[in-house]
Amino acid sequence: MTSHIHVGPLKNGARYAEVYTPKRVDGKKVNNPVYLGKVIDLEKGIFYNRQRGFFKYTIEAGFEGCDFDHRELKTDAEKETRILDFGSAFLLEQVLRDCGYYDLFHGILTDRADSLMALLFYRILEHGGYASAEDWLEGSYAKILFPRAQIKSQRVSDILSELGDESIQRRFFQKYLNAEIPEGRTTGLLIDSTGLPNDIDFYLTAVNNHNGKVSNEARLILVVDSQSKRPLFFRYNPGNVPDVSTLKATIAELKALRVDTGMTILDAGYFSEKNVVALCDEHVPFLTRLSPNRKLYKQLISEHSAAVLDDSSIVRYPGRLVGIRRYDVTLPNGRGGFAYVAVDHERRHQEWSRYTLDALEDGIDITRRKEKTRNQGFFVLISSEAVEPDEILPLYYTRQVVEQIFDVGKNDVDLLPLRVHSEKTFRGHLLLVFLASLSYLMLNERLKDSKFNAGNALFIFRNLKCKVYGSSILVKEPVKKMNDISEALGISIPDKLVEGKPGGN
């Protein structure tokens, strides 16, 4: 396989060049591009970039000096002036480098590394469809960070399709999980799903009835580390596949990725006899809520509600008083487990008041009212492990973290609406949003002890501009809030940067 020079278009009729040297990795042909820069004279092999200046390159001889006086051309290049949005892209780059995600993300697509990173920054820093990505890049410091990025509308589908390749996603998750949980053992996992409503004509779009809401959708399943609060893995299914049917496959994929799960916390939709048996067989400890329509729920409430309502059962949970007691139960596989029968006193009173007011207006008699309100405010948790009653609620409600991550995906990094037309590009879009969500959450984590969060920090830094003179980047003066944010993150805002060097140093 021989090397060749690839030429592509730049603005104003200019062209750039790269040298492609093919090789095989895992039996697959992979190019290793070397960026030459702007084409000055392709026939003579003369190019320009900011690292080498003007130089000559041929496949046969490699890099050489130039045998012509290029001072006049270089002067023209140095006169080039641009004003760019600097702050938010600089801030994001610094945080990703500091936490180690930058190199991990940059290495996912060998041939399209700059394009992927530019698209990732667009997802985080700008709201809008993929068709607007190139317009954003032209006015952003990300253009300098990722000089080889090609994110025209027609190229984005190619990037997402490559990103959706199963082998690429497996390699990424293996590297990511090895870094995130080096010994493969988690303290605990949170597993939940959300709907992705869409009208795309592919098999993943199906009718779903979730808590009485009917929609055409696909389902996204997310696995989160309960201690670090970071997403670890995702899966997807057609919208008509119920949550209860997906748990075994999710656990199996985690096992295949060498993740040895700790306490797994699940919503009521995942509870079934088969799932309990599967979790026990795989030695996965679990905690889940029991749905009120389950026979076991009705039995436990009937037998223990009076004891739970007694003041001796009260524990404090932030902002609430909860009556809770633990009882031994037999799980569907015949093994011993634990039931936590609980009542939220404030919620019970609110539900009783609401219902009773309506019932009195409707003339419902007292016998029916008592029957209806008897079990209001009660809930039951089932666990394979013994946990103290005053510790079980903080443990279970860590699952709210998953909802917060779904919220970041949908509201901050444009998970929806879906603008893809094949399963492969859909899978690539999901991985891109996963990376964007992870980046956004990391910035939030770094700011947790300050008065800022990721959203307003990026918004404030958006107003920090820079001017580009040749290879020099002059940064405008930051305002106080920018200095406060940079201090909270432990980064320095430079006065001047040199284009083409990481971090501008």
Domain ranges in the chain are: 1-79, 84-163+425-505, 171-405
Q: Is the dihedral of CA 116, 122, 128, 133 positive or negative?
A: negative
Pick the closest to residue 84 from 113, 116, 121, 111 (CA basis).
Answer: 121
Identify the three-state secondary structure at position 444.
helix
* 264: β partners: 189, 286
The one-character DSSP state at 352 is H
Q: What tokens were used for 429?
A: 């879009």
In this prediction, residues 104-113 reach a mean pLDDT of: 94
Q: Are 193 and 227 in contact (CB under 8 A)?
A: no
Q: In whole angstroms, give the CA distance from residue 384 to residue 108.
A: 39
Extract the tokens encoding 165: 């390749």
Which of residues 349 and 127 earns the better pLDDT score? 349
Q: pLDDT at position 79, please?
A: 45
- Looking at residues 125-131, what average pLDDT do you find? 88
* Residue 92 · residue 102 · CB < 8 Å: no
Residue with tokens 């589908």: 157
Cβ 223 vs Cβ 250: under 8 Å: yes
Most confident range, picked from 173-177, 240-244, 494-498 = 173-177
CA 277 vs CA 224, 244, 255, 387: distances in Å: 22, 13, 17, 20
Give 315-349 pLDDT, tens digit per residue: 998 888 999 999 999 987 788 999 999 999 999 99
- Better-scored residue on pLDDT, 362 or 102: 102
Most confident of 1-5, 328-332, 468-472: 328-332
The separation between the first and the last C-alpha atoms of the chain, rounded to the nearest angstrom, is: 37
pLDDT value at 161 more than 70: yes
Which one-letter amino acid corresponds to residue 392?
I
Give the pLDDT confidence score for residue 72 in this predicted structure.
43
More confident residue, 215 or 209: 215
What confidence tens digit (pLDDT) does each residue in 369-411 have?
A: 888 888 899 999 999 999 999 999 999 999 999 999 999 999 9
Q: How far from the centroid of its chain's Cα atoms is residue 345's Cα? A: 36
SS3 call for 174: helix
Contact 18, 37 (CB under 8 A): no
pLDDT digits (tens, 9 = 90+) for 225-256: 998 999 999 999 999 999 999 999 999 999 89
> How many CB atoms are located within 10 Å of the residue 408 CB?
21
Cβ neighbours, 10 Å, residue 52: 14
The pLDDT tens digits for 75-99 are 434 444 578 999 999 999 999 999 9
Contact predicate 387/338, CB 8 Å: yes
This model's pTM is above 0.85: no
Strand, coil or helix: what is 283? coil
Fold (topology level) of 171-405 = Transposase Inhibitor Protein From Tn5; Chain A, domain 1 (3.90.350)
Mean pLDDT of the chain: 88
Amino acid at 413: V
For 411-429, the pLDDT digits (tens) are 999 898 888 878 999 999 9
Distance CA 161, CA 429 (A): 8
Percent helix, strand and coil across the chain, each to the nearest 5: 45, 25, 30
